Amino acid sequence: MSDWVLKAEGLSKGFTLHLQGGVRIPVLRDAGLVVAPGECVALSGPSGAGKSTLMRLLQGNYGADEGAILICRADGSVADLATASPREVNGLRRDTIGHVSQFLRVIPRVPALEVVAAPLLARGVARELALARAQALLRRLNLPDRLHALPPATFSGGEQQRVNLARGFVADFPLVLLDEPTASLDAANREVVIALIGEAKARGAALVGIFHDLDVRGRVADRVVEVLPLREAA
């Protein structure tokens, strides 16, 4: 097994404001991050420093201007997300990178159970087994059974977040990205998330998260990495 799951090096990212005469906003310059199997790294830093931007790069949502984002797949092969083709990025998201965003992107008419089972179905897991695992995880996160067959569009913020969490933890992704995973949760469900993160670490997953809840961060993170605004980092 490789001694890292994620190795990002020399990452730079800026935004061009086309509506303001092409003004360029640099956000990350020569950023790097290495995460080992079984390790959870928390991104910290002031608002606007670039934490979400870094997360979006690690997810393949944004392209990097410079640098490499090396990701070790479960079979030991390595991909560079920064230069991967759209097809490779889709493959990495299907098999390797799990993501729990702060807000659920609701797909109309798709029931919560299907939303959660989707990552397993995409990997070819038998439908019955995928749905059973999804149901078990939703129950563990205390989402009432009567909601499982309903589309999450009308769910409360905390209910939607639990659907999102179940989707991110239902498959054994080698890399799991967590964007404020407990922001809308009550104390009991926060404990479930802390346990899920612990179990993911125990099976050797690498996790990167933004945790504004410092108690949760203190209990799950092995290391805190500061993302500093460029003028301070320079």
Is the Cβ of residue 53 or residue 135 nearer to ligand ATP in the bound state?
A: 53
The one-character DSSP state at 152 is: G
Burial class (CB in 10 A: 0-12, 13-18, 19+), 160: buried
Among the residue ranges 49-57, 74-82, 115-123, 191-199, the one whose residues contact ligand ATP (CB under 6 A): 49-57
Q: For ligand ATP, which residue of 1, 25, 136, 149 counts as binding (CB under 6 A)? A: 25
Q: Does residue 47 touch ligand ATP according to CB under 6 A?
A: yes
CB of 27 to ligand ATP, least distance (A): 4
Among 5, 6, 11, 27, binds ligand ATP (CB under 6 A): 27
Question: How far apart are the C-alpha atoms of 137 and 133, rounded to whole Å?
Answer: 6
Stretches 51-59, 91-99, 125-133, 197-205: which one binds ligand ATP (CB under 6 A)? 51-59
Q: How far is the CB of 150 from ligand ATP (least distance, A)?
A: 30
Tokens of 36: 């080992």
The DSSP secondary structure of 164-226, one letter per residue, reads HHHHHHSS--SEEEEESTTTT--HHHHHHHHHHHHHHHHTT-EEEEE---HHHHHHH-SEEEE
Q: Is 227 helix (H, G, I), strand (E, B) or coil?
A: coil
Of 11, 35, 42, 52, which one interacts with ligand ATP (CB under 6 A)?
Answer: 52
Nearer to ligand ATP, 23 or 150 (CB): 23
Distance, in Å, from the CA atom of 9 to the CA atom of 133, rounded to the nearest integer, reads: 36
Which range, of 48-56, 154-162, 168-176, 191-199, touches ligand ATP by CB under 6 A? 48-56
Dihedral sign, CA of 73, 77, 78, 84? negative
- Examine residue 174 and tell whether it contacts ligand ATP (CB under 6 A): no
- Rounded Cα gap, residues 164 and 158, in angstroms: 10
Verify binding: residue 31, ligand ATP, rule CB under 6 A: no
Out of 5, 42, 53, 217, the only residue in the binding site for ligand ATP (CB under 6 A) is 53
Note the residues at the interface with ligand ATP (CB under 6 A).
Answer: 15, 25, 27, 45, 47-53
